[in-house]
């Protein structure tokens, strides 16, 4: 498949994987992307997962009509992109690897060697001429590993973006980009917003017409849309107007409060209400929604003088990813010693710019008329 007259796609679709990185459900599979620029010299961008090395090498052989590539550009050393390095270097003994110094150190860890006789160490804004095409290497540490770099091609105005702008899902499945890209970003890159912001500032100086990520489709139109979403996500801004209600419930009383609040919000005109049972919904989906909306309601029971395990896990996922800049309401339930609100605030004490609603609700076993009146008051406060 041609991306431009000189750039070809070499990647593969994986429909065998069920959990990406051992934790993220990928019902539509995964794409491992690789590309090659054909010029006076040829440059391959990244390899693929170990399960598909043979298929990828076949794609490369067809793209180059059996010719050896001059360069292998290694932008990211995670094994889903680097597992084929050794196979390529064994097959094509004249190929030179281009990567950051830290990437070569990781090659030593993965493969037992750093290819000292066949390498070029890329530094910030160093360049490599292929003939007509000149590649510029831009370091992108902690997006989302420390060795990462991205590459800009000045002829076709293409940014090879490593894991940035990637998404879950194989390329032979039609699905909305934004939902699976958001879940991918928040889950995998979300902790490193500051570093993504630094990369976006570097990218602002480049005339980018296409983005070629290591997962997901090549982005060729309306790039401002994707860049804006990455700015929102990496600055921990609010993407969509609405309220997420995340709850856990043992005997149904806390769920009753969450459902009643959702009904009140919808009746009062809330543009979007997301109701999430943390014991049953995919945790990555729940975390994605918490980052998407500006207001979050946490409804849970006191449990062993702590909070219910699924709620604790959920909050851990949020804080691990630098959750911030949000309004939070708390609904706690406890039959003899309610402690959930205090526990939640303790767990979130290091999160920046968290505003708690004035209305907090304590349920002692079952909902009372006073609780229901307070839920109505809370709905008004969340919509103010």
CATH (domain of 343): 3.40.50.360
Do residue 229 and residue 246 come from a single domain? no
- Amino acid 125: pLDDT: 96
Cα separation, 51 vs 83, whole angstroms: 9
- Amino acid 314: pLDDT: 98
Domain-located, residue 1: no
- Amino acid 66: pLDDT: 87
Structural domain total, the chain: 2
Nearest to 216 by CA among 165, 145, 148: 165
- Give the count of beta carbons closer than 10 Å to the beta carbon of residue 303: 19
- Give the count of beta carbons closer than 10 Å to the beta carbon of residue 329: 23
Do residue 98 and residue 119 come from a single domain? yes
Q: Single out the residue in 172, 203, 234 at which a domain terminates.
A: 234
CA distances from 210 to 25, 48, 108, 220, 270 (A): 28, 21, 33, 5, 37
Beta-sheet pairing, 134-139 with 127-129: antiparallel
Domain that holds residue 107: 7-234
Do residue 253 and residue 340 come from a single domain? yes
- Give the count of beta carbons closer than 10 Å to the beta carbon of residue 92: 20
Q: Which residues sit opposite 210 in a β-bridge?
A: 158
Do residue 56 and residue 201 come from a single domain? yes
**Burial grade of 116 (CB within 10 A; 0-12, 13-18, 19 or more):** exposed
The CA-to-CA distance between both ends of the chain, in Å, stands at: 51
Do residue 162 and residue 280 come from a single domain? no
Question: Six-digit token pair at 201?
Answer: 């500032």
- Give the count of beta carbons closer than 10 Å to the beta carbon of residue 301: 24
The helix (H) or strand (E) run that includes residue 338 is: none
Residues 253, 363 contacting (CB under 8 angstroms): yes
What's 63's domain CATH number? 3.60.15.10
Q: At what angle do helices 340-347 and 309-320 cross, to 10 degrees?
A: 20
Beta-sheet pairing, 210-212 with 158-160: parallel
Give every CB contact of residue 193 below 8 A, 6+ residues apart in sequence: 233, 234, 235, 236, 322
- Give the count of beta carbons closer than 10 Å to the beta carbon of residue 276: 22
Q: Single out the residue in 171, 200, 234 at which a domain terminates.
A: 234
Domain-located, residue 72: yes
What tens-digit pLDDT sequence spans the chain (384 residues)? 899 999 999 999 999 999 999 999 999 999 999 999 999 999 999 999 999 999 999 999 999 998 999 999 999 999 999 999 999 999 999 999 999 999 999 999 999 999 999 999 999 999 999 999 999 999 999 999 999 999 999 999 999 999 999 999 999 999 999 999 999 999 999 999 999 999 999 999 999 999 999 999 999 999 999 999 999 999 999 999 999 999 999 999 999 999 999 999 999 999 999 999 999 999 999 999 999 999 999 999 998 889 999 999 999 999 999 999 999 999 999 999 899 999 999 999 999 999 999 999 999 999 999 999 999 999 999 999
Do residue 305 and residue 227 come from a single domain? no
């Amino acid at each position: 498949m041609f991306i431009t007259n000189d750039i070809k796609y070499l990647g593969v679709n994986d429909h065998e994987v069920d959990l990406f990185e051992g934790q993220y459900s990928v019902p539509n599979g995964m794409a491992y992307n690789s590309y090659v620029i054909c010029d006076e010299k040829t440059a391959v961008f990244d390899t693929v997962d170990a399960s598909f090395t043979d298929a990828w090498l076949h794609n490369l052989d067809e793209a180059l009509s059996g010719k050896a590539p001059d360069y292998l550009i290694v932008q990211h050393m995670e094994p889903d992109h680097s597992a084929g390095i050794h196979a390529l270097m064994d097959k094509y003994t004249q190929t030179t690897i281009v990567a950051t110094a830290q990437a070569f150190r990781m090659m030593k860890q993965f493969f037992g060697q750093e290819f000292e006789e066949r390498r070029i160490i890329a530094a910030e804004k160093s360049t490599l001429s292929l003939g007509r095409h000149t590649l510029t290497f831009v370091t992108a540490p902690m997006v989302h590993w420390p060795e990462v770099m991205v590459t800009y091609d000045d002829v076709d105005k293409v940014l090879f973006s490593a894991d940035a702008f990637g998404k879950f899902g194989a390329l032979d499945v039609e699905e909305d980009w934004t939902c699976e890209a958001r879940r991918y970003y928040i889950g995998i890159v979300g902790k490193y917003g500051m570093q993504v912001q630094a990369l976006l500032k570097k990218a602002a100086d480049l005339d980018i017409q296409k983005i070629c990520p290591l997962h997901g489709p090549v982005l060729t139109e309306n790039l401002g849309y994707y860049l804006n979403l990455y700015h929102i996500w990496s600055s921990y801004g609010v993407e969509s107007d609405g309220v997420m209600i995340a709850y856990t419930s043992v005997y149904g009383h806390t769920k009753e409060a969450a459902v009643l609040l959702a009904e009140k919000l919808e009746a009062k005109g809330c543009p979007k209400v997301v109701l999430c049972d943390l014991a049953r919904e995919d945790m990555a989906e729940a975390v994605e929604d918490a980052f998407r909306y500006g207001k979050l309601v946490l409804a849970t029971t006191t449990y062993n003088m702590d909070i219910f395990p699924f709620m604790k896990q959920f909050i851990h996922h949020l804080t691990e990813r630098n959750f911030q800049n949000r309004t939070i309401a708390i609904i706690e339930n406890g039959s003899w010693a309610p402690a959930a609100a205090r526990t939640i605030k303790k767990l979130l004490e290091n999160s920046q710019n968290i505003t708690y609603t004035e209305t907090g609700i304590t349920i002692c076993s079952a909902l009372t008329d006073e609780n229901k009146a307070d839920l109505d008051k809370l709905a008004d406060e969340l919509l103010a």
